[in-house]
């Protein structure tokens, strides 16, 4: 037997096996394709409306604003900002200062119109208005407007330029007095060298100014009178009729811009009918109740229109 050939053959066979195993061990591992995992779907939150409450002017009929506020609070609808003209600025300032609708009603119960009568110079206006400014400042604990819990604006008319001006800072009593100074009834209010009178001359229901303040959804309350056909017997009647005539045309332009318009039925109340303030409050509450479902529906759909 040829052991040499056998040994050589064995070696070659062993080397072949070694190389074969070596090749197997160095082969790249099989690649497992990655699993496809869907990215989580994140729902886009609906934009939250910035609710503005625009309270119109109307003298004694302004008590209806209290009823509207009560109805809104009962349904958990809380405005982010408040803007008011004339009587609307009176109620609006007290509400924005932190008073609830029920607290406003409590203030209205003992109301005595004679506490606001402070006679002035007849050639400038029958009343000075200092009593009204003092009442506002006392009731809001002498805080300036920018210290209120809610953003607030009082709309007045610049007597020189004829433009509406919104007071958003400073002395609350002075701002409300300027907004409420019905020509002939009150003297014009001087602020930093400018003269101001009732905001109803230029913005009787301040819807567009509410949007300018930052509201994205406006609830407007219109308590105005249409021009009367009856007798006009006093200087106050003349002033109120003048405001009604001018305001009617402006309201036709302003009101369609509101998301919700609340119009209390207070046609039986006069502009100086302070004795029937309880009826005005009830009518405001009733009118807001009639619009409540539509208001809720519009708020629920707010994000869809953006």
What amino acid positions are annotated as catalytic residues? 86, 198
Quote the CA–CA distance of 222 and 56 in Å, as a whole number: 5
Token pair 């502009």 is found at: 271
- The crossing angle, in degrees rounded to 10, of helices 64-74 and 101-108 is 150
Residue 43: alpha-carbon gap to chain centroid: 27
Phi, psi of 130 (to 5 degrees): -60, -35
Taking the C-alpha atoms of residue 172 and residue 142, their distance in angstroms, rounded to an integer, is 8
Which residues on neighbouring strands pair with residue 55, listed in sequence order?
84, 221
Which residues contact residue 133 at a Cβ distance below 8 angstroms, ignoring those fewer than 6 apart? 171, 173, 174, 176, 177
Closest-CA residue to 79 (of 61, 95, 102): 95
**4-7: which pairs have CB atoms within 8 A and are 24 or more residues apart?**
none
How far is C-alpha 240 from the chain's CA centre? 27
């Amino acid at each position: 037997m040829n052991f040499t050939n056998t040994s050589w053959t064995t070696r070659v066979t062993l080397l072949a096996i070694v190389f074969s195993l070596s090749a197997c061990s160095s082969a790249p591992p099989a690649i497992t394709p990655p699993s496809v995992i869907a990215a989580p779907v994140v729902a886009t939150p609906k934009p939250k409306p910035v609710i503005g409450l625009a309270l119109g002017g109307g003298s004694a009929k302004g008590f209806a604003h209290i009823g509207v506020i009560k109805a809104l609070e009962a349904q958990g609808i809380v405005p982010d900002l408040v803007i008011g003209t004339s009587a609307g600025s009176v109620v609006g300032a007290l509400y924005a200062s932190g008073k609830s609708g029920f607290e406003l009603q409590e203030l209205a119960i003992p109301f005595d119109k004679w506490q606001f009568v402070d006679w002035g110079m007849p050639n400038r206006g029958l009343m000075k208005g200092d009593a009204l400014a003092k009442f506002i400042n006392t009731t809001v604990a002498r805080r300036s407007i920018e210290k209120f819990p809610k953003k607030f604006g009082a709309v007045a008319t610049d007597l020189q330029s004829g433009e509406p001006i919104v007071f958003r800072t400073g002395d609350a009593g002075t701002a409300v007095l300027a907004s409420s100074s019905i020509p002939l009834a009150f003297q014009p209010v001087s602020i930093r060298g400018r003269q101001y009178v009732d905001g109803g001359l230029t913005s009787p229901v301040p819807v567009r100014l509410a949007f300018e303040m930052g509201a994205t959804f406006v609830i407007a309350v219109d308590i105005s009178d249409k021009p009367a056909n009856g007798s006009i017997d006093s200087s106050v009647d003349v002033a109120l009729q003048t405001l009604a005539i001018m305001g009617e045309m402006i309201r036709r332009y302003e009101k369609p811009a509101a998301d919700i318009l609340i119009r209390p039925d207070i046609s039986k109340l006069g502009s100086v009918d302070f004795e029937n303030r309880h009826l005005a409050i009830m009518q405001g509450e009733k009118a807001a109740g009639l619009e409540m479902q539509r208001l809720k529906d519009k708020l629920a759909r707010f994000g869809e229109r953006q």
